[in-house]
Structure 1
């Protein structure tokens, strides 16, 4: 069962590409103390995620909750749904009109509507981290701590290439969400992760390899809960992450952020690589940023798997 969502109605929004929207609903959930009574932590969800970040159905409940590293007794936890992710029933069909920066601007408008002038932290994984980067560049005084996890401030050529294949699968496959998800799992994990888990074993009932059975299962599960329009939009947002298209402007924009920046990479991430994050750290310098690396064979999805390592990284920030 989906939770009762709160909604903010935003009027007269114009996308970066000039598409005029008379009214758009921004849905959200709040966990912990009421707004205005505790420091606020904004959590941005990833491609197939949503605003339910903690509790029994929470996708980051190992990190967020009572007496967890991000403690809902100490912090007000706010999470918006990316409009069009389908969690609130809202659909966006014209996905090509949208960019990651549009979502960052909508989230900033949402904070303004809630009278939140500053955040203690904004944290996001994958696409959510990209949105966090965009927000911090648009509003350099927004937050004390910026924590992009398994993410980056731009989509690389490799990521854009993967997004193109995802889009083609979503537009041309007879089982679009199912098949796109199967392909995506190859980007989210690694050969070493598959080897450790499956060891070329077979599913005797289905007469196929267990790795094939696992991929088919993931395709089926997402197909049951995710719409094609949502997947197309999230994929478009992912490939459009870019705080600025002009590389010469990027250094100044990133350095304008007033927050302490905590870069969290995964050493085996094929999607948002550790190497790109290390380059960002070198650009920012140790006074502005800190760099942390999760060690895992599981690739990009390690930010959803390696909770103990992530807890260790986050604990000094939230204590």
Structure 2
């Protein structure tokens, strides 16, 4: 399996003017050697990491030998968002509110530059990872052939910002912060229909605990056991910071992006709604002919991008063939 490698950047200037004395960017490489095959960048979501394939790979249904993103054909590079703490206590960041998705996207480009690569075949990411993909495209509008943001958008919505606030309050005020924040988040990532189909209001045990309660408590514990508090605070905060037009004219930014843009939504997503992604698609179409809209049909809501692999495979097949 690919080992985690690191690049250390000193004195990184952030978007808000703060200079971060040290940032550790870690990554894993899969498939072909960079420079010998088209390069695919895979950006992870809030609780994800650089392990995109293999036994614990969070997108292993999409990426590996002979899968849709075929590691026999592509070089696959997956960065850890600095501060996510994946297999490295050293890369945690305490001043989480200083960072934005723009900063993370800039660091990813610095990482790519270390491989002396000018062109990227595809940047794909779900949720937070897709928002970072948008920021990467805005920073270098001619460098990505295929931009594939999944279940995400180019600017945080009021609904998203509100939910980030609730998560931040839980993370800063709860006696059991990661556990409790995760339970609340799971209800946003799924839908009422999804939970009803899964549990049918059945009891888990004779103590009167419902199966849905047991499932939520399990998810809270699971994340608590593998995620650090400062990492969760940072990842949650980053969600609300995305705005690729922050200092730029919208039409100029959209016109400048030369990528084929494949927007993928989930019809029941509560977190990044299909409707807001459709509006984004229409705005892109005003200036660019290279935009395509795809919709995953699922009762599972936002998490469908981690569940509905058959549909996602069908959407991605023409791009990666």
* TM-score bracket for the superposition, by shorter chain length: over 0.9
SS at match of 1:30: strand
Deviations along 1:257-307, one digit per CA (max 9) or x if unpaired, are 110000000000000110011111111117220000000000000000000
CA–CA separation in structure 1 for the residues paired with 2:232 and 2:85: 9
1:175-254 equivalences in 2 (<5 Å) = 175-245=176-246, 249-254=249-254
CA positional deviation for 1:3: 6.2
Equivalence for 2:144 = 143
Render the CA deviation track for 1:78-110: whole Å, top value 9, x for unaligned: 000000001032110001111111001100111
Q: How does 1:147-186 map to 2 (within 5 A)?
A: 147-186=148-187
Take 1:21 and 1:165, find their aligned partners in 2: how far apart are those partners? 27
* SS in structure 1 of the partner of residue 183 of structure 2: helix
Larger mean Cα displacement after TM superposition, 199-208 or 99-108: 199-208
Distance 1:196 1:145 in 2: 36
How many pairs are equivalent? 317
Structure 2 unaligned blocks of 5 or more: none
Counterpart of 1:271 in structure 2 is 271
Q: Is residue 283 from structure 1 mapped to residue 283 from structure 2 by the alignment?
A: yes
Query: What does residue 61 of structure 1 align with?
Result: 60
* Partner residue, 2:301: 299
Q: What is residue 36 of structure 1 aligned with on the other side? A: 35
C-alpha deviation, 1:11, in angstroms: 2.6
CA apart distance, 1:205: 4.7
The reply on whether 1:9 has 2:8 as its aligned counterpart is yes
- Paired with 1:116 and 1:91, the residues of 2 have a C-alpha distance of 28
Q: State the alpha-carbon separation in 2 of the partners of residues 212 and 21 from structure 1.
A: 41
Please give the secondary structure, in 1, of the residue aligned with 2:56.
coil
Counterpart position of 1:311: 313
Deviations 1:152-207 (A, max 9, x none): 10110000000000000000001100000000001100011011111111112542
TM-align CA RMSD? 1.3
Q: TM-score when scaled to structure 2?
A: 0.96
More displaced stretch, 196-205 vs 178-187 = 196-205
CA contact (8 A) 2:2 2:30 kept: no
CA deviation vs aligned residue, 1:5-64 (integer Å, no higher than 9, x gap): 111122321111111123322100000011111000000000000000011111000000
Secondary structure of 2:242's partner?
Answer: coil
Q: 1:119 offset after TM fit, Å?
A: 0.5
Measure the CA separation in 2 of the matches of 1:290 and 1:159: 24
Secondary structure of the corresponding residue to residue 249 of structure 2: helix
- Counterpart-to-counterpart distance in 2, 1:131 and 1:293: 20
- 1:222-247 deviations in Å (ceiling 9; x for gaps): 0000011000000110111111236x
Measure the CA separation in 2 of the matches of 1:196 and 1:252. 45
Q: Unpaired runs of 5+ in structure 1? A: none
The whole-number CA distance in structure 2 between the counterparts of 1:39 and 1:205 is 56
CA contact (8 A) 2:65 2:72 kept: yes
Helix, strand or coil at the partner of 2:85: coil
